[in-house]
Chain A
Amino acid sequence: MDATETDPREAAFQDLIDADGRVEPRDWMPDDYRRSLVRQIAQHAHSEIIGMQPEGNWITRAPSLRRKAILMAKVQDEAGHGLYLYAAAETLGVSRDELLDLLHAGKQKYSSIFNYPTLTWADMGAIGWLVDGAAITNQVPLCRCSYGPYARGMVRICKEESFHQRQGFESLLTLCRGTPAQRAMAQDALDRWWYPSLAMFGPPDGESTHTGKSMAWGIKRFSNDELRQKFVDMTVPQSHVLGLTIPDPELRWNDDRGHYDFTPPDWDELRRVITGDGPCNRQRMEHRVAAHTGGEWVREAAAAYAAKRRAAEATA
């Protein structure tokens, strides 16, 4: 085919996207679209399962049976979210094993936020409120993503995330209504998680490598900066109810813009954390790889049991 000629399949594909249609696994799609989706869905799936670690850290030390049951349910949900997302990626012709290998080899990334340590119990509340709040802001538009299996996975995930955010806020509110020491612990957690949460939306629009194409393909609906602003606008009034102070002296309502003005996160720090030099990167990866290799015998045992059952059925 002449290089200047557009592939008619590509034109039909773009028409479908422009009409806000959904692409399904057996449809023809451009290689770049497929690659972009695999990259994004895999990164999202990895984030869910790595995200189990900072909270898993506090399960045994939860202050009550109620909080412990809630935290376990939340970490359990995250494993489930990882599963939905790996399954969505597999519809694009990659295998979950392949994706896990890439994660373990450091060739695919996960969200920078999970490379920060969870130092106190208040971090469990702050993560639910801020980190899950930021995740929801990112994920709600993904429910309308152009790729059907990803969009459907996101619908399930968003429903479940709502409990995550509310339990976090409630937990933090309980601390804020408690003793001065508990309030101070809540404030300290907000001080440490605020900027990393803002950084979750990725680099500013001018520096985002994937945004343009992802928007044209209907994978992304809003830019990083738009989502970050939306998150700030929703979260600031919530902080007033908690009676906590967001650690940003520049934060104020801008009547002309109809939005809050705020200080952006430290982009150099974000770059460092993404490229492997955050406070917990090595620990998170070591733990993930150890869990995977340490779990090998469980997978082997399950396969052996299934083989034994098949053999028994064949002779029955």
Chain B
Amino acid sequence: MSTEPLWEVFVRSRRGLSHIHVGSLHAPDAEMAVRNARDVYTRRQEGVSIWVVPAGAITASSPDEKDSFFDPAGDKVYRHPTFYDIPDEVRHL
């Protein structure tokens, strides 16, 4: 038997929150993947909506290049509000 394709599963725990990656599973097609995901990942009512995505469709950044890849944000502390010196008496800012 040939290996069934791998699916990444995303679950929305409740309305208003985004789908979050919860794990993966094998299934012959997308519809079966959704059903299996329901049985595996929402047995205790963890979600109200499920997405499945073929694992092969995901392109990920390379762990080997992690340092150089994320390095450009490293020296830009001025992107954070705490970088700015505001007198204590200033409220609501």
Whether A associates with B in a native complex is: yes
Which of B15, B80, B83 has the most chain A CB within a 10 Å cutoff?
Answer: B15
Q: Interface with A: B27-35, B59-67, B85-93, which one?
A: B85-93
Q: Interface with B: A109-117, A162-170, A182-190, which one?
A: A162-170
Q: How many residues of A contact B (CB 8 A)?
A: 26
B89 and A241 contact, CB distance less than 8 A: yes
B86 and A73 contact, CB distance less than 8 A: no
**B interface, by DSSP: helix, strand, loop or mixed?**
loop
* In the complex, chain B residues whose CB is within 8 Å of the CB of A133: 93
Q: How many residues of B contact A (CB 8 A)?
A: 21
Closest chain A residue to B15, Cβ basis: A22
**Interface flag for B79 (CB, 8 Å):** yes
Q: How far is the CA of A129 from the CA of B76 in the complex (A)?
A: 21
Q: How far is the CA of A131 from the CA of B87 in the complex (A)?
A: 20
A148 and B81 contact, CB distance less than 8 A: no
* In the complex, chain A residues whose CB is within 8 Å of the CB of B87: 173, 241
B85 and A170 contact, CB distance less than 8 A: yes
* In the complex, chain A residues whose CB is within 8 Å of the CB of B84: 163, 166-167, 169-170
* In the complex, chain A residues whose CB is within 8 Å of the CB of B85: 170
Q: How far is the CA of A202 from the CA of B76 in the complex (A)?
A: 35
A166 and B93 contact, CB distance less than 8 A: yes
**A interface, by DSSP: helix, strand, loop or mixed?**
helix
* In the complex, chain B residues whose CB is within 8 Å of the CB of A151: 16
Instruction: Give 1 or 0 for each of A55-79: 1 = CB within 8 Å of chain B CB.
Output: 0000000000010011001000100
* Partner among A22, A163, A238 whose Cβ is within 8 Å of the Cβ of B81: A163
Q: How far is the CA of A238 from the CA of B16 in the complex (A)?
A: 34
**Interface flag for A215 (CB, 8 Å):** no
* In the complex, chain A residues whose CB is within 8 Å of the CB of B81: 162-163, 166
* Partner among B18, B86, B91 whose Cβ is within 8 Å of the Cβ of A166: B86
By a beta-carbon cutoff of 8 Å, the part of chain A in contact with chain B is 21-24, 26, 66, 69-70, 73, 77, 133, 148, 151-152, 162-163, 165-167, 169-170, 173, 234, 237-238, 241
Question: What would 9 more interface pairs be, CB under 8 Å, given A21-B15, A152-B16?
Answer: A26-B49, A69-B76, A73-B79, A152-B18, A165-B93, A166-B83, A170-B86, A237-B90, A241-B89
Shortest 5 CB-CB distances between A and B: which pairs?
Answer: A22-B16, A22-B15, A166-B84, A162-B81, A234-B92
14 A–B contacts, CB within 8 A, in A order: A22-B15, A24-B49, A66-B78, A163-B78, A166-B83, A166-B84, A169-B90, A170-B84, A170-B85, A170-B86, A237-B90, A238-B90, A241-B89, A241-B90
